[in-house]
Structure 1
Amino acid sequence: MDSLLPFALLCFTSFFTLTNPLGTMPVFLTMTQGMSKDERQRIVKRATIISFLILIVFTFSGQFLFKFFGISTNGFRIAAGFIIIKIGYDMLQARYTNVKLKNEEIRTYANDISITPLSIPMLCGPGAIANGIMLMDESTSWSMVAILVGIIALVYLLTYFILKESTRLVDLIGETGNNVMMRLMGLILMVIAVECFVSGARPILIDIIQSSLPDMLPAGAAH
């Protein structure tokens, strides 16, 4: 039980910051400008369900993909660390999203923005997918797997309510409040990314050092 609580907190903080529903609100309001409340609600509902399903599929199939492509877990952790730290840096600069949308693109996606770009890559981007695969790899018991799936469901449930009430929330917290929260979450995300990078780099460096030690020893020293 003592190890499950820190794992649950790690899952929640990392997924919530990577999903970033608060930062998605302004972009979502721009893309749905002129739509009714019911239309926005349908878009949000579909986007969160699709994001949840995609993330669950990648989370559970990650190890199979590693074996199929011959990718090491530690190498993936290092790459994921770079991805997550880039997202965290953007949030630290109070950039609403790492997806740059032009007016023409918004019009193009107006008929089905619930899939692209709202679900992919905004609510379920490469950072969230990489995080899901890593946390599944660290889940050593069925209890941890259940917590991981439950936290993902909780995060997307919160995302649904946040985007559903985005108009009220934007007026409530204001631009300054949103920027402050964005920077704090970005800082947390960068710390998680550093831990992720170090956990992947440490075993690789240890293997390199251990494999090079016999060559560095004088002849006969091993005997």
Structure 2
Amino acid sequence: MEIYLEYALLVFTSLFAMMNPIGVIPVYMSMTSKLPSEEAKRVAFKSSLTACLTLFFFAFSGKFIFDFFAISVNSLKVVGGIIFFITGYDMLQARFVRTKSENETEVEFANDVAITPLAIPIICGPGAITVVIIYMQEGLTIVHNSILLFCVFGICSLTWITLLSSRKIFQFLGANGNKVMMRIMGLIVMVIAVEFFFSGLKPIIQGIIH
């Protein structure tokens, strides 16, 4: 039992660090602050659910898909890093990452941003997908794999609860506090993006050279 508890703690902390529920708040707020409260709640639920289902999907079929299409995790990191960087730059300017167009209804806008970029790649990014695939492949028993899936569900649920509480947090901070926090988080997201990009690019270049 102690071994399983240690494994659960390892998986949970690894996934939590990669998914970072707290870090999702500024991105979520930047895209939903103009939406009615009910629509914002729908975005929180749909993005968390989509991220959870996506991670479940990659847990069971990720390695097969990567092998079948000859996709490397490093390539995923490079693309994810570019998307992260663009998102972080928009946050650094304290502007909306994605704004509703004139011909787009609030429901359509909410559905769009809930999936991209919130669920993928903000909540469920290259790091989280990589962690899930690796732990699923390394799981020695069905108990280990069950622990992994439970941790995925738990962190996605925690992300949903965190996003539901985000408006109260931002109301407490005020308009200026929100912008400052968004810029700080934008800078952090850009730094993470650079790390992702080069951690994926370096092995690719080394492979070409050798």
TM more than 0.5: yes
The verdict on how the C-alpha distance between 1:188 and 1:82 changes in structure 2, with shifts beyond 3 A counting, is same
Q: CA deviation at 1:24?
A: 1.8
Q: CA deviation at 1:108?
A: 5.3
Q: 2:118 aligns with which of 118, 123, 129?
A: 123
Q: CA deviation at 1:30?
A: 2.6
Q: Deviations over 1:143-164 (max 9, x none)?
A: 9977865664444334323443
> Residue 218 of structure 1 corresponds to which residue in structure 2?
none
Does 2:204 match 1:204? yes
Q: 2:16 aligns with which of 7, 12, 19?
A: 12
Does 2:23 match 1:28? no
Q: Deviations over 1:91-125 (max 9, x none)?
A: 2333343x221243134538xx4xx1252124312
Flag the structure with higher helix content. 2
- What's the C-alpha RMSD, in Å, of the aligned pairs? 3.7
In structure 2, what residue type is equivalent to 1:102? S
> Residue 100 of structure 1 corresponds to which residue in structure 2?
99
Secondary structure of 2:114's partner? helix
Which whole-Å CA distance do the structure 2 matches of 1:92 and 1:107 have between them? 25
> Residue 142 of structure 1 corresponds to which residue in structure 2?
139
Question: How many pairs does the alignment contain?
Answer: 199
The verdict on how the C-alpha distance between 1:94 and 1:45 changes in structure 2, with shifts beyond 3 A counting, is same
In structure 2, what residue type is equivalent to 1:119? A
Q: Deviations over 1:166-207 (max 9, x none)?
A: 443332121222223323333333333223223222223333
Would you say the 8 A contact 2:18–2:128 is kept in 1? no
Moved more, 159-168 or 67-76: 159-168
Which whole-Å CA distance do the structure 1 matches of 2:13 and 2:176 have between them? 26
Runs of 4+ in structure 1 off by over 4 angstroms are 7-10, 39-44, 143-152
Which whole-Å CA distance do the structure 1 matches of 2:22 and 2:168 have between them? 22
Which whole-Å CA distance do the structure 2 matches of 1:90 and 1:78 have between them? 19
Which whole-Å CA distance do the structure 2 matches of 1:50 and 1:10 have between them? 20
Which whole-Å CA distance do the structure 1 matches of 2:179 and 2:114 have between them? 22
In the superposition, the TM-score normalised over structure 1's length comes to 0.66
Q: Answer with 1 or 2: which has the greater Rg.
A: 1
Secondary structure of 2:103's partner? helix
Would you say the 8 A contact 2:52–2:153 is kept in 1? yes
Which whole-Å CA distance do the structure 1 matches of 2:22 and 2:88 have between them? 8
The verdict on how the C-alpha distance between 1:21 and 1:56 changes in structure 2, with shifts beyond 3 A counting, is farther
Would you say the 8 A contact 2:48–2:159 is kept in 1? yes
